[in-house]
Amino acid sequence: MRQTQILSPTLRQAPADAEAASHQMLVRAGYIRPLASGVYSYLPLGWRVMRQLERIIREEMDRAGAQELHLPALLPAELWKQSGRYGVYGPELIRLQDRHGREFALGPTHEEAIASLIRDEVKSYKRVPLTVYQIQTKYRDERRPRFGLLRGREFLMKDAYSFDIDAEGLDASYRAMFDAYHRIMRRLGLRYRAIEADAGAIGGDGATYEFTALADVGEDTVVSCTACEYAANLERAESGSAARKGAGAKEAGQYGNSPAPERFPTPGMRTIDELASGLGLQPSAFIKTLIYTADGAPVAVLVRGDHEVNEVKVKNCLGAAAVELADEETVAAVSGAPTGFAGPIGLRPDVRVLVDRDVAAMSEGIAGANAADTHVKHVVPGRDIPLDTVGDYRNVIEGEACPHCGDGRLQFHRGIEVGHVFKLGTKYSAALGATVLDPNAREQPLLMGCYGIGVSRLMAAIVEQHHDERGIIWPRAVAPFQVHLIPVAWKDEAQRQAAERLYAQLQQAGISVLLDDREERVGVKLADADLFGMHRKDSHKLFSNRPKDCCPFNPENL
């Protein structure tokens, strides 16, 4: 392809709203252009990269035995009502009506659509295992579309779905996808981790792993062990005390040394920081009490003063659909005190109290007294706080012991979730009636797995990892062209002829080439080439600062 013909408008300046490097560079290099918030057009270079990503993903899906199909993006609301998700998916689901007033949604994901197809077309266990996939545009009205392709409202996803008759089958299908994802990430040249994750809104049971590209701009925190293979996202990572046997289980008589709880004034000291500096103590000396509402019911969560509550863990433990921090009014109603002074002793009796393991393990602590400007000391978990709901309710912190091997420490990285593999079980197949007859002619719901890759997000994630201050540096496997041929003096007849010859030869050899046939100054050509990213990181050094004789090839020899 000739550069005079390709639609690749480059910009010297990044758009003002572009915070992420990938957003800046993809726009500057003319790969993408915004049409609306979180909605992008892909220009020829961007679309060529997308095609490369799709090619690699298709090859690995096919190799894993999955079959490609294509489902509609326009989905009847009825299907989503059958699964129960129409009501709970919330404003992210783009809903619309046809001219007859029938309700539809633009697909953010396709469990319902595929389960309904399989329900109608697969009737016998003999037709499974079956894994299908598609590469398709998805729609999610994200609250905060940002970072360009990293969080769009319209984006490209590869989604695969597996169907099996039993748990062993599901294990094998899941494993095949899991392995394929590793191959894809490696072929794309990504630094990534497969991390344990929370199942979130898609639901289902069993394992879920996120494939996360490491990058500072990432919104996820990847927790990994310095010594073993353990890796999880922050929502999921177990606190090290999980490994400490019997944490919190105190022997009888163990409370003997602590005096009875004693109230004392703490005027205006609402936060742990204010208390710690006001009283000259470490944050870990305090028991922090946070009041939440879980599906409307009040819940108190107790964590040590230096720890943070993990709302996902709380939500999972309660089996609640929604958990959020209670408002001032609720806090006052259940504790009788303003926010900042709630504590475990004397809460309204209907408040469920969840005690983090590390609180249970404290010999004593200082807690809110459920009265304004007052705290209480010598609070002994087990003696003054019932320990029947002890669990892991906190975020892990960097540097703490690994819950698995105990030898290593937990370290944190930022990451971008680029893929996700779930075992869904029968959640959607049962709801939509995707059943088959088993060998004993009994009707069984199929076991499903679902496996997503954000294809457009991947494009941005690769740029996050592969760029320098001059522009993108594509890994060879995904570059829009294999060769960027840049005759630096197009006006020079000999150089032009040599370039044309080489251009023709490379194309004949099946190599994709972008020929810079513009009559531009060399500086402009090289700056654009740096931005486009189809060359080695240090190739500009080949040209040094001497544009006149900078061609590393002798055109006579071509």
Task: By CB under 5 A, name the binding residues for Mg ion.
Answer: 420
* 406: partner contacted, choices Mg ion, ligand ATP, none (Cβ within 5-8 A by kind): none
Q: How far is the CB of 159 from ligand ATP (least distance, A)?
A: 7
* CA 434 – CA 155 distance, rounded (Å): 28
* 454: partner contacted, choices ligand ATP, Mg ion, none (Cβ within 5-8 A by kind): ligand ATP
Residue closer to ligand ATP, measured from CB, 125 or 209: 209
Tell which residue, 41, 54, 52, has the closest CA to residue 7. Answer: 41
Residue closer to ligand ATP, measured from CB, 200 or 386: 200
Residue closer to Mg ion, measured from CB, 35 or 201: 201
Cβ neighbors of 203 (< 8 A, separation 6 or more) are 424, 427
Q: How far is the CB of 73 from Mg ion (least distance, A)?
A: 19
* 418: partner contacted, choices Mg ion, ligand ATP, none (Cβ within 5-8 A by kind): ligand ATP
Other CB atoms within 10 Å distance of the CB of residue 95: 14
H-state helical runs in 361-519: 427-432, 455-465, 493-508
* 129: partner contacted, choices Mg ion, ligand ATP, none (Cβ within 5-8 A by kind): none
* CA 295 – CA 310 distance, rounded (Å): 17
Residue closer to Mg ion, measured from CB, 11 or 201: 201
* CA 46 – CA 48 distance, rounded (Å): 5
Backbone dihedral angles phi then psi of residue 141, each to the nearest 5 degrees: -80, 75
* CA 286 – CA 307 distance, rounded (Å): 10
Q: How far is the CB of 457 from ligand ATP (least distance, A)?
A: 4
Cβ neighbors of 314 (< 8 A, separation 6 or more) are 292, 294, 299, 301, 320, 323, 354, 393
Residue closer to ligand ATP, measured from CB, 20 or 285: 20
* 429: partner contacted, choices Mg ion, ligand ATP, none (Cβ within 5-8 A by kind): none
Residue closer to Mg ion, measured from CB, 119 or 420: 420
Q: How far is the CB of 395 from ligand ATP (least distance, A)?
A: 17
Q: How far is the CB of 236 from ligand ATP (least distance, A)?
A: 12
Chain position whose Cβ is nearest to ligand ATP: 454
Give the angle subtended at the CA of 339 by the CAs of 335 and 342, to the nearest 5°: 40
* 413: partner contacted, choices ligand ATP, Mg ion, none (Cβ within 5-8 A by kind): none
Beta-sheet strand order (sheet of 374-379): 262-265, 374-379, 365-368
Q: How far is the CB of 478 from ligand ATP (least distance, A)?
A: 16
* 155: partner contacted, choices ligand ATP, Mg ion, none (Cβ within 5-8 A by kind): ligand ATP
Q: How far is the CB of 90 from ligand ATP (least distance, A)?
A: 12
Q: Which residues of 354-367 are buried (b: 16+ CB within 10 A; e: fewer)?
A: bbbbbbbbbebbbb
Residue closer to Mg ion, measured from CB, 211 or 286: 211
Chain position whose Cβ is nearest to Mg ion: 420
The residue assigned the tokens 């900078």 is 550
CA distances from 518 to 93, 163, 540 (A): 46, 54, 19
* CA 177 – CA 174 distance, rounded (Å): 5
Q: How far is the CB of 336 from Mg ion (least distance, A)?
A: 40
Residue closer to Mg ion, measured from CB, 300 or 461: 461
Residues within the interface to ligand ATP (CB under 6 A): 109, 140, 142, 151-152, 155, 157, 200, 417-420, 452, 454, 456-457
* CA 189 – CA 159 distance, rounded (Å): 21
* 261: partner contacted, choices Mg ion, ligand ATP, none (Cβ within 5-8 A by kind): none
Q: How far is the CB of 61 from ligand ATP (least distance, A)?
A: 15
Other CB atoms within 10 Å distance of the CB of residue 150: 27
Residue closer to ligand ATP, measured from CB, 28 or 140: 140
